[in-house]
Amino acid sequence: MKRIILTFLAVFLMQTVSFALDSSIKFVQVTDTHFDAENSYSVDVLQKTVEDINKLKNVSFVVFTGDNLNNPQPEDLDDFVKIINKLKIPYYIVLGNHDVCKSKDISKDQYNEIVRDNNLFWFHKKWNYTFKKMVTYL
């Protein structure tokens, strides 16, 4: 009986240590969507991208890495965020040169405000992120 308990404890500890040492993070990167709300192909591609991501297993988050919009228009950003809000995991947005422009309609602050207005879980006040893997022990 003692041998069975020790074997069980040894296997349990090995699995726990193995899990704790696994520091990998699985995420999805989406870049250069150049979303245009008036272009049905652009809308369809973004919707299908979200659907495909939602089918993936064990993904921690999605990062949209710039040029999310083709032209920095508030209406396009509204529609873009409404589509990506259908993701079943958290997402982060990185700005590209097509997303904000001093000579166009959206500043970084306005961009953040529009995203926040369309996503109750958007708490980011700055455009810089750090990611830390949290280890959970059973």
- The DSSP H or E segment spanning 8 is helix 2-21
Whether this prediction's pTM lies above 0.75 is answered by: no
pLDDT at position 53: 96
Domains, the chain, ordered by start: 29-118 (3.60.21.40)
What are residue 69's phi and psi, to 5 degrees? -110, 150
The Cα–Cα gap between 94 and 104 comes to 18
- Dihedral sign, Cα of residue 90, residue 131, residue 99, residue 104: positive
Residue 92 above 60 pLDDT?
yes
Percent helix, strand, coil in the chain (nearest 5)?
40, 10, 45
Cβ neighbour number for residue 46 with a 10 Å cutoff: 22
pLDDT at position 111: 81
- φ, ψ at 40 (rounded to 5°): -60, -35
Give residue-wise pLDDT tens across range 32-78: 999 999 999 999 999 999 999 999 998 989 999 888 998 888 889 99
| The predicted structure's pLDDT at residue 94 | 85
pLDDT at residue 103 above 80? no
Is pLDDT above 60 for 22?
Answer: no
pLDDT at 2 over 90: no
Query: 71 or 5, which is more confident?
Result: 71
